[in-house]
Amino acid sequence: AAAPADDQRTVAASAAPSPFSWLAQLVNGKRIDNNSRREGFEDNRTPFGKILRGELPAHILHEDHDVLCFRDIAPVQEFHALVIPKRRIEHCGCVGHSDVPLLRHMEAVALQALQAEYPALDVSAARAANVVSLGYHKPPFITVHHLHLHCIYPMPAPWYFPLARLLSFPQQYGRFYHGSDSVIEEARAAAAVT
């Protein structure tokens, strides 16, 4: 058989399914890929940059001028969303005083997405009881080098997680997983040091 012409190979290759097409399937009856193309993020080579450019599927929960909120592709609990700034910041150790409004906005968006999913939830009480986790990873537990806030609900009892998950998402905030309040305080304090 004759080899296909170059233009036929191009058509065949473009018709092949994306290796990420499984993400666009239905999960718990909800379509998880409602992502769309955005301009201006070509220099962000992280997976979150690909989500911002619309190159990877994502279940978008909220988007505005400054942030994007979407479901985690590997959720550790019923509700696990990520909020990222559209401006790339490597991780929470790289934020400063000028980033405090952005960090507060990220926290507000995460809580808004949680409240939309669980309208009857008393979010303040759940946070006080440590049933809602709003946290950032610090090295070495950073898998994507683009600042992202985790919003997880409900936080399970420690025996529920395998050890690796428990280290990444502990029941209490600690050395490698910082609560959003402490990250905001560290960013505010950064102005006093400089």
Residues tagged active-site: 148
Render the burial of 7-42: b for 16+ CB within 10 Å, e for the rest. eeeeeeeeeeeeeeeebbeeeeeeebbebeeeeebe
Q: Is the dihedral of CA 164, 167, 172, 177 positive or negative?
A: negative
Under 8 Å CB-to-CB from 115, ≥6 apart: which residues? 121, 123
Q: What is the three-class DSSP state of 30? A: strand
Angle at 184 between CA 178 and CA 185, to 5 degrees: 95
Under 8 Å CB-to-CB from 51, ≥6 apart: which residues? 35, 58, 68, 70
Q: How many CB atoms lie within 10 A of CB 72?
A: 17
Q: Is the dihedral of CA 182, 188, 190, 192 positive or negative?
A: negative
